[in-house]
Structure 1
Amino acid sequence: MKIIHTIPRDISWLSFNERVLQEANDEHVPLKERIKFLAIHSNNLEEFFRVRVAALRRMIALSDKKANFHFEENPQAILDQIQTIVLRQQNEFARIWNNILHEMNKEKIFIKNIHQLSAAQKKFVRKHFDEEVESNVIPLLIEDLPTLPYLRDKSLYLGVVMSKEKTFSKQKYALIEIPVHALGRFVILPSRRGEHHIILLEDIIRFNLPYIFSYFGYDHFDAHIFNVTKDAEFDIDNDVSTSLVQKIEKGIKNRRKGKAVRFSYDKEINAGLLEYLIRKLSLSHKDNIIPGGKIHNFRHFMDFPNVFPSKKTRTNISFIHPELKDRQRITEVILKKDILLSFPYHSFVSVIDLLREAAMDPDVRSIKISAYRLASNSKIINALINAVRNGKEVIVMMELRARFDEEANLEWKERLEEEGVKVLIGIPNMKVHAKICVIKKIHAKKIIQYGFIATGNLNEKTAKIYADHLLFTSNENILEDINSIFHFLSAAKIENFDALNKCKHLMVCPNNMRKDLLALIDHEIKEAKEKKEAEIIVKLNSLSDQLLIQKLYEAAAAGVTIKMIVRGIYCALNENKKFKKNIFAISIVDEYLEHARAFIFHHSGKERTFISSADWMLRNLDHRIEAAVEITDKKIKKELREIINIQLSDSVKARRLDNQLSNNYVHSDKAKKIRSQIEIYNYLLNK
């Protein structure tokens, strides 16, 4: 393939995480939400190290380049650049957090350390430790051990240096895992009226160190926080004697033993303990060893106590789609017309209600549905189990390799099979990422089918914060293609991808989506070269596929108007002297996470509009089962176009994506500032 100039994927991703940091820095965002964005930034970065940095390090280690991932041209140069960017962002993170602390203090909200406690608070902390914490604390003396005890990924540790006042040279090292999972990170302290005092769990343990180690006779303690991030990837081996389930179970266990890829610590930690930990973790100073402040694992701050003044933090509340409101049966509506749900503006309850109706409908014979990430107490699963108990055939495609959801999905698989659900577990070396469902019923001896296809997960929890689309439909052509996908997934010889060629109305990966997208772009190029109107509008999470970027470059050079809304990874260069029209690209980071994928092509005035589960990435287009559906209903096409137009006009939360990764906000000279998520809510509410 011809080498084209693009922004490295991982550097572009860090630019996205900087946009998240911008939200935390925005003084117009409520304090609780600003803290949440710092937590999101921290959680994002942790997963970035667990997956992408780990992958880059394995690229360097592998000389034969035989691996299950795409190789970067110069992984070491990218790692070096990552280190520089991460340290810069960390300094910005610390500055923002200090500003937020200052603003919290103005609101009489204080995070207290052990030196700031009143006499009453000290008494409370001592009692709370005895009653709630002590049974969950297991101190480990480590310096005489031949190997470091197993340190869990995503856990938080207190490194303790103990000594006696008269003999400081005789120090002992100890580790304590902070039991955040069992107890939470935050404890509300007794405080004066009108004030809120909070202490972190690690400080409760730090305060009680003299009691924890009282039997050793130490009287001086130096304790600081650190955490280790490990390689989260695992390879599925080719042992034909083991099932995919067994391989995934083995992979999950191996993940827990993954090599450390980042070591973050309080920069005031004892130098001797720091050197000891680095040595025992087999790290060198060339690795991602990152000094920081006193607080680590900031992702826990997503659960920061709600002690803020009662100000409205969420923009709006989800509502039932007007076509489904006050209707006794959703099914009857869908059998008459297509319905587009746009979450989180529209309520996800309608999806659950549809499955509940199917579970109770005596005419329904079967439900086929795919599942990638589910809520922890999934109402989707409950509806499917009720369907089985009512005598329906239920087939669930459960993707066991959904990263970080593998254990949960294994548990769902077991529960569903216990209830009599037929569970499909996908195909080797390829995840099933399509969000599809087909329900079959027989009424008056006639087969009737209906269902849906979506851009996001069937997860009622994330549907409250992820902006996605879902199309309810009874279109026979679409449902036949969905049936073909399930037939393919159920077949014994699943390596025969030609079976997916039966799909004539859906774009499906890995078979025809890439080819069809290239053809659609080629049509716009042809129109532009003939001096006709040509336009491409694309909304994605990520754009990194080299072939599609190359084709977009060709379109820009031909004079096609290209408008992009890309939340995360964006590897394309927007400006080039060969382009007749530069590419316009923005990223919107706001209250809701923009997760939908939509494609609009002018197509000689006969506009073609699609929604899809697939981003424009190599992994999605060539290594996953994905599906895109064309919207043919004129009313829905207009509605989706209006939503996209509102987002393209955002002048509050949109950042311009450019060659320099500057993340500058889009500004408008118009008097009215457009915040697209609020405008979309109002647009849909008033339809």
Structure 2
Amino acid sequence: MERTKVFASEKIPFFNRDLSWLSFNERVLKEAADKRVPLLERLKFLAIYSSNLDEFYRVRMPVLQALHRIGKEEGETGAVGKAESVLQEALDKIARQQELFGEILTTGVLPGLNENKVHLLYREALPAEMSEETTNYFLSKVLAFLHPVVLAKDMSGFFPENNQLYLLLEVLEAGEEQQVILNIPSDQLPRFYPFESKNGTTFIAFLDDIIRENVRWLFPHASVRSCRSFKITRDAELDLADDYEGDLLDQISRLVEKRDRGLATRFLYQPGISPDVLERLRKAFNLRKAGMMEGGFYHNLKDLFSFPIQRPDLSEKKWKPVPYNPFGWTGSVFDHLDEADALFHPPYHSYDAILRFFNEAATNPAVSEIYITLYRVASDSLLANALINAARNGKKVTAVLELKARFDEANNVKWAKKMKAAGVRLIYSVTALKVHAKIAVVKRQIDGRQKYTGLLATGNFNEKTAALYTDHVLMTSRVELLRETELLFIFLARREKVYNPALIVFKHLLVAQFNLQQRFLDLLDAEISSAKAGLPASVTIKMNNLEERVLIEKLYEASQAGVEIRLIIRGICRIVAGVPGVSDRISVRRIVGRYLEHGRVFIFHNGGEPLVYMGSADWMNRNIYRRIEVCFPVLDPALKEEMIHLLNLQLRDNQKAVYIDRSLENIPVEEPEEPVDSQQCIYDWLKNRKMGS
């Protein structure tokens, strides 16, 4: 179908991707401000915000700084106006968010904890009744990890590690002043120290403050005049050449070891350090390209994840995962899947069903081969152990292991070595192209015939993240899907650097590098044709991120043609909804709740016979152009209706959902008569259905 040009490309509105991501992180921060959220969960959202921001400085800030230096921006900010400097706007947004962070913590969360006899000592002296105990803790435990270093012109023997905490001390001894750098060993000791007071209040002290209060023990003949905290954040990207010598496993191992010695992107410091001392630090630690930023009294508040108080009355009520046994599985999982597909929804469902699938595959005498893609492997993965067991049991096991999964490289390398030693055949992606697909195939020999069973998923085969991320897993024995899946595994084994779509044809699967983008364009074109013919036409899409220009332009075109487009986008969203004459029929929602929304689902009206696809691919440049991704159709009519029902629940959410407006603001959904928290509704629906089965 010939594509219609609706408007000149230079007039197409696009949000900047990094400003959009900062809008998402602000939504996380707003969850910490919500008084309906229990206090300890609000602390958790503050920790998530802080962790997210650290990653932004490690991954995206180097890009913004580079674009700023060469006078180029990644794209129009569209309806929010062309920014003179996206870098400066990002810094301004971060500064405002940091102020909000402090306000939420000090005027909302901490007073609430105090009312419940939990007192986090935040910029406060330790109570006298704690003094003896914390001094003993300092002298018996903390002191062993402290390494004071005098600031000098030549600091070649000292390297501040990425995101590690330090104190800058001004020490006066014999009339001579010097600056001393002292580490805060929060990677070796707990960041927080609890103390039960006589009146029943639990005091929580920062490790930082225990050191501040006892630092005199390090300088018995000197006076410590000031003590201010700082940290350095470093570029996290691994530099992998397109061509390389030797084993990729060894290369990744070496590069991961060097990562934390990358160039500094941010020097965050407690206010009060004099300009001349800051200049000395900048020169000593080669901070010429780093942003010098005043911050709060404490850094790395992502450590609030390890806050040492666990009280049910201050936490969300835990949801017990629903057992997943849709057919009353009493015999083999594979026999049941030969009869019908199954659709699994973690974390609402217990992950035991997936572990059972791989454990049965490892021990079932009929199973001859197992194929799987692994992107992020759990640190103590039962699933990976099942693959090792399968190889030891004589099965032919092939794992496409992505060694370049950011921040999980070291863990994946560890498991690669274990699986390789057990006889698992490992396939690594070519250097410039990640394999992000979530697929598995099991082949059985039954009465001389070969049978296929497999998993097609939206999220990683990782039992740890499956307890935190909402995803969907299709369990199926449909030959038409699984033969194409096997074909992709065969193709990946060739490790070709150039993927030629003419070499392989996928009729059912949508595979990035082959047909994924074009098939989505064709599906949107079909809705456009229906709308122009005066027929109902609609699209509902749920993704983590929406960035890629060609597909966004097609969504704009569909809106102008009369297609109703409902988007649920958790993070980056470059499309601008509600622009008159451009995107009137587009709405964008964002949901942030107790679980991280992670599933990718695509629903097309298709003349009243809905088409439902799910898969691993967001509509981002990296997913479309630089990764192997797989999206797949849901063919079972009942399961198709199930997915439509779940997305309709999310479209009704008025508790955890917001609209993204034309200024990148998170606008609460107006509450109708009945409050709807979609995650609660989905859990209740799945649980009640199980009880009624």
TM-score (norm 1): 0.94
Instruction: Quote how far apart the aligned CAs of 1:192 are.
Output: 2.1
Name the % identity.
36
| Structure 2 counterpart of 1:22 | 30
Residue equivalent to 1:181? 187
The Cα shift of 1:138 comes to: 1.6
- Is the contact made by 2:457 and 2:616 (CA closer than 8 Å) also made in structure 1? yes
CA contact (8 A) 2:329 2:336 kept: no
Residue among 272, 275, 279 paired with 1:275: 279
Note if contact 2:563-2:585 (Cα within 8 Å) is conserved in structure 1: no
Structure 2 counterparts to residues 468-617 of structure 1, below 5 A: 468-491=471-494, 493=496, 495-498=498-501, 501-579=504-582, 581-617=584-620
Determine if contact 1:24/1:35 at 8 Å carries over to the other structure: yes
Q: Does 1:209 align with 2:232?
A: no
Within a 5 Å distance, the mapping from 1:158-169 to structure 2 comes to 158-164=167-173, 167=175
Q: Which of 650, 675, 678 in structure 1 is aligned with 2:677?
A: 675
Single out whichever of 190-199 and 324-333 deviates more from structure 2: 324-333
CA RMSD in angstroms, aligned pairs only: 2.2
Contact kept? 2:545, 2:569, Cα under 8 Å: yes
Cα separation, 1, equivalents of 2:211 and 2:350: 43
1:386 aligns with 2:419: no
CA distance in 2, matches of 1:223, 1:596: 46
Whether 1:141 and 2:150 are equivalent positions in the alignment is yes
State whether residues 60 and 76 of structure 1, in contact with CA within 8 Å, keep that contact through their aligned partners in structure 2: no
- Is this contact kept in 1: 2:398–2:426, CA < 8 A? yes
Correspondence for 1:131 among 137, 140, 151: 140
Counterpart of 1:258 in structure 2 is 262
State the alpha-carbon separation in 1 of the partners of residues 684 and 662 from structure 2.
Answer: 34
Within the alignment, does 1:31 sit opposite 2:39 as a pair? yes
CA offset digits 1:556-595 (Å, max 9, x no partner): 1011010000011111111222248431111001110000
Find the partner of 2:232 among 228, 234, 238. 228
C-alpha distance after superposition, 1:206-265 (max 9, x if no partner): 222111233xx1123421211111111122124543443344334324422211111111
Are the structure 2 counterparts of residues 633 and 238 from structure 1 closer, same or farther at C-alpha, using a change threshold of 3 Å?
closer
Q: What are the equivalent positions in structure 2 for 1:193-204 lying under 5 Å apart?
A: 193-204=199-210
- Structure 2 SS opposite 1:458: coil
Contact (CA 8 Å) 2:458, 2:599: kept in 1 or not?
yes
Counterpart of 2:249 in structure 1: which amino acid?
V
Query: What is the CA–CA distance in structure 2 between the aligned matches of 1:428 and 1:287, rounded to whole Å?
Result: 29
What residue is the counterpart of 1:12 in the other structure?
20
- Are 2:513 and 2:624, in contact at CA under 8 Å, matched by a contact in 1? yes
Deviation at 1:500, TM superposition (A): 6.5
Are the aligned partners of 1:590 and 1:653 in contact in 2 as well (CA < 8 Å)?
Answer: yes
Task: Using the TM superposition, name which of 494-503 and 446-455 deviates more.
Answer: 494-503
The CA deviation at 1:485 is: 1.1
Q: What code does the residue aligned with 1:252 have?
A: V
Could you tell me which of 424, 427, 430 is aligned with 2:427?
A: 424
The equivalent residue for 1:684 is: 686
2:197 maps to 191
- Decide which of 47, 50, 61 is 1:53's aligned counterpart: 61
Question: Partner of 1:223: helix, strand, or coil?
Answer: strand
**Corresponding pairs, count:** 675
Task: Name stretches of at least 5 consecutive residues in structure 1 with no aligned partner.
Answer: none
Which of 345, 349, 367 is the equivalent residue of 1:346?
349
Distance 1:368 1:314 in 2: 38
Which shifted more, 111-120 or 466-475? Answer: 111-120
The code of the aligned residue for 1:18 comes to E
Listed one character per residue, the Cα deviations across residues 399-435 of structure 1 (whole Å, up to 9, x for unaligned) are: 0110111111111111111111111111231100000
Q: 1:544 to 1:550 in 2, by over 3 A?
A: same
Task: Name the CA shift for 1:636/1:415 in 2 (closer, same or farther; >3 Å).
Answer: same
Residue 47 of structure 1, CA deviation: 0.6
Contact 2:39–2:315, Cα closer than 8 Å, also in 1: no
| 1:32 maps to amino acid | L
Distance in 1, Cα, partners of 2:584 & 2:135: 67
Say which SS state the counterpart of residue 345 (structure 2) adopts: strand
Is residue 465 of structure 2 the alignment partner of residue 462 of structure 1? yes
Q: Is 1:244 aligned to 2:273, yes or no?
A: no
> Does the 8 Å contact 1:39/1:300 carry over to 2?
yes
Once residues 474 and 665 of structure 1 are traced to their aligned partners in structure 2, the CA distance between those partners, rounded to angstroms, is: 43
- Residue in 1 aligned with 2:294? 291
Against the structure 1 CA distance between its residues 685 and 499, is the aligned structure 2 distance closer, same or farther, given a 3 Å change threshold? Answer: farther
Q: CA–CA distance in 2 between the matches of 1:604 and 1:235?
A: 48
Q: Hey, what's the Cα distance between the residues in 1 that align with 2:602 and 2:122?
A: 52
Aligned partners of 1:543 and 1:570 also within 8 Å: yes
Deviates most, 334-343 or 314-323: 314-323
Partner of 1:565: helix, strand, or coil?
Answer: strand
1:652 aligned to which of 652, 655, 659: 655
Secondary structure of the corresponding residue to residue 241 of structure 2: coil
Distance 1:641 1:492 in 2: 37
Deviations 1:11-62 (A, max 9, x none): 1000000100110000110111101101100111111111111122234556
Aligned-partner residue type, residue 191 of structure 1? S
Match of 1:2 in 2: 9
Aligned to 2:177: 171
- Give per-residue Cα distances to partners, 1:507-556, cap 9 Å, x unaligned: 00011000000000001111111111000000000011100110000001
Q: Which amino acid aligns with 1:681?
A: Y
Contact 1:506 1:628 in 2 (8 A): yes
Residue 92 (1) aligns with residue 96 (2): no
Task: Say which is worse superposed, 187-196 or 248-257, in terms of deviation.
Answer: 248-257
Residues 124 and 199 (structure 1 numbering): CA distance in 2 closer, same or farther, change over 3 Å? Answer: same
Question: Amino acid of the residue matched to residue 143 of structure 1?
Answer: A
- Output the amino acid matched with 1:160: L
Q: Secondary structure at the match of 2:141?
A: helix
Q: Give CA deviations for 1:468-513 in whole Å, capped at 9, x if unaligned.
A: 1011111101111110111011126453433763322100001100
- Residue aligning to 1:434: 437
Query: 1:40 & 1:455 partners in 2: Cα distance?
Result: 22
Deviation at 1:634, TM superposition (A): 0.7
Give yes or no for contact 1:323–1:333 (8 Å, CA) kept in 2. Answer: no
SS, match of residue 524 in structure 2: helix
Cα distance in 1 for partners of 2:196, 2:586 equals 56
Residue 49 of structure 2 is matched in structure 1 by 41
Query: Aligned runs of 1:404-423 on 2, under 5 Å?
Result: 404-423=407-426
- Name the aligned partner's letter for residue 230 of structure 2: F
Conserved 8 A contact 1:387-1:394? yes
Contact 1:227 1:263 in 2 (8 A): yes
More divergent stretch after superposition (521-530 vs 201-210) = 201-210
Change (3 A) 1:153 1:310: same
Partner SS state of residue 51, structure 2 = helix
Q: What is the alpha-carbon distance in structure 1 between the residues aligned to residue 602 and residue 119 of structure 2?
A: 48
C-alpha change, 1:606 and 1:192, in structure 2 (3 Å) is same
- Residue 161 of structure 2 aligns with which residue? 152
Conserved? CA contact 1:559–1:580, under 8 Å: no
Distance in 1 (CA, whole Å) between partners of 2:501 and 2:587 is 37
For residues 380-407 of structure 1, the C-alpha deviation after alignment (integer angstroms, 9 at most, x for no partner) is: 1111111111111111111011011111
Secondary structure of 2:304's counterpart equals: helix
Sort the Cα spacing of 1:83 and 1:30 in 2 relative to 1 into closer, same or farther, 3 A: same
- The reply on whether 1:448 has 2:476 as its aligned counterpart is no
